Chains A and B, each alone.
Chain A
């Protein structure tokens, strides 16, 4: 009996030792873990470029075929029209078919708004009026009626994408046409293929293919510019009855849309 009791006691103690030993060994183990996450982003591409080339008017014009073009386009050619004070000028028979060009290029990764604004818009004109002095005859009593507002400088605006936007129109027509270009374009739009290259040219017809349809108006405007005394005496108000200046400032802005 003693033997069995002793054996049982020893066995029980052995089990107890094994249990506590395993518990101790459990405290030796230590849980460790780590996790990592990240992200990278690059600055979205913009790269929109607006370029403008050329000039509209000049101080001299030289002969080309039956017209006269800016002297800067044909250096050395015979001058047919020349400013007396260095101001840019226009005259019957002058034109500029190379004009100025505007181009918008780039494929931005953001939505953009293309805005074309026109400032300082002026146009040469002779207002509709009756009894205007006819300065072509040299007679003091001759007059003529201008049946409609007369804009001698004809502007043409074209786009390589949109085609002819203005064909022989006024500066106001050009302003209206340019406003139609204003638009918002989605990200990743190739602006060169959406807007294209714009080109603005002008011409002042010399004599309507020999008919001289507007000779009286052209001559009156020329005499007004020279300060010649009008005969018969007539009071014409600059800005209302006539304008002797043409001018335009075109701004193209491409702005990211918020």
Chain B
């Protein structure tokens, strides 16, 4: 076998192994990618619809938000105050936020918490309470003298807020509430209850109210399909004639010090749509920590494949140059 034939044989061998290596890399990464994407279901339109995982999630379509009945209505004379009604009805009400966060590949996840048409960010002030309240005759019966939010016997309110998946990939979400009275040691006889849009009671019930501090234990979580939303109704009331003596005591104490109720609603959403996986991250942590070894191996193989291709091209070029030189030498001789 001549030198040239040997070189050609070597070249073919080298080429074969490089092609083989590249093919294996491409096939392997493609298979793994498809396995990941298989978590997501596609509806008839081709859009991602995770309704199989959350059949009760409502379709989010741009229209009016769930209406809040914020009359803060007091009941009839001598009666307990009304809760002012439950908020919102119907699905998919509201104009979607245009906020969209785009990540590398993987669709456009976007989450929005809002109330009264205002989108929440961090420490957003909302109107769970009011600075004045009216009765059924629309007459003001309680009013702050300085614009502070106040509560008083007979006052009540119904607060509706919405969590929406405005992106095109499923999201896992978590809801957590903090509720407390300051200063410590006081008990304010305000009652509360909280209901989700699908009539699930997170606290209390139709005829069951709890002290506001018990909101501190309220939490909810779940998975929300793309374009879907949840809404919640938080009702509170201060019954008018339960303990006049204590109510009067609080009102008199309030002249010299602020006795307050604070309610904070925290929401979290993550792009991990595995319903069995615990969601709720408070520290931003980009990167899926699962199967790091596997992903790392595939990334390394892909890198090797890229480097291999580059080396192959360089060697091939050099080889061609040598062949040309050999051919020229043979011709010269």
Contact = CB atoms under 8 A, between A and B. Distances in A.
Q: Is the interface of A mostly helix, strand, loop or mixed?
A: mixed
Contact of B141 (A7, A10, A25, A258): A258
Contacts of A234: none
Interface residues of A, number: 49
Contact of A20 (B15, B33, B171, B250): B33
Nearest to A254: B248
Nearest to B268: A34
A44 B122 contact: no
Given A13-B26, A17-B25, A24-B299, A187 B140 contact: yes
Contacts of B261: 40-41
A18 B309 CA distance: 12
B200 interface: no
B145 A107 contact: yes
Interface string A25-67: 1111111111111111111111100000000000000000000
Given A34-B269, A38-B265, A187-B141, A43 B103 contact: no
A21 interface: yes
Contacts of A7: 313
B124 A35 contact: yes
A10 B308 CA distance: 10
A9 to B, nearest CB: 7
A125 B119 CA distance: 75
B7 to A, nearest CB: 14
A45 to B, nearest CB: 5
Given A17-B305, A24-B299, A34 B282 contact: yes
A1 to B, nearest CB: 14
Contact of A34 (B240, B266, B271, B309): B266
B135 A258 contact: yes
B149 A45 contact: no
A215 interface: no
B121 A258 contact: no
B109 A31 contact: yes
Interface string B115-146: 10001111111111110100100011111110
A97 to B, nearest CB: 34
Given A29-B287, A36-B123, A258-B240, A111 B142 contact: yes
B124 A36 contact: yes
A100 interface: no
B286 interface: yes
Q: Is the interface of B mostly helix, strand, loop or mixed?
A: mixed
Nearest to B79: A258
A33 B299 CA distance: 28
Contacts of B313: 7, 10
B328 interface: no
A20 B27 CA distance: 9
A31 B97 CA distance: 17
A186 interface: yes
A47 B19 contact: no
A16 interface: yes
A256 interface: yes
Interface of B: 15, 18-19, 22-23, 25-26, 29-30, 32-33, 36, 74-79, 81, 101, 103-106, 109, 111-113, 115, 119-130, 132, 135, 139-145, 148-155, 161, 167, 169, 171, 178, 188, 240, 248, 250-255, 258-272, 281-282, 284-288, 295, 298-299, 302, 305-306, 309, 312-313, 316, 320
25 contacts: A10-B309, A13-B19, A13-B305, A17-B25, A21-B302, A23-B105, A29-B105, A30-B285, A31-B101, A31-B167, A34-B269, A38-B124, A39-B125, A39-B126, A42-B148, A43-B250, A44-B152, A110-B141, A110-B142, A111-B142, A187-B143, A256-B154, A258-B74, A258-B78, A258-B141
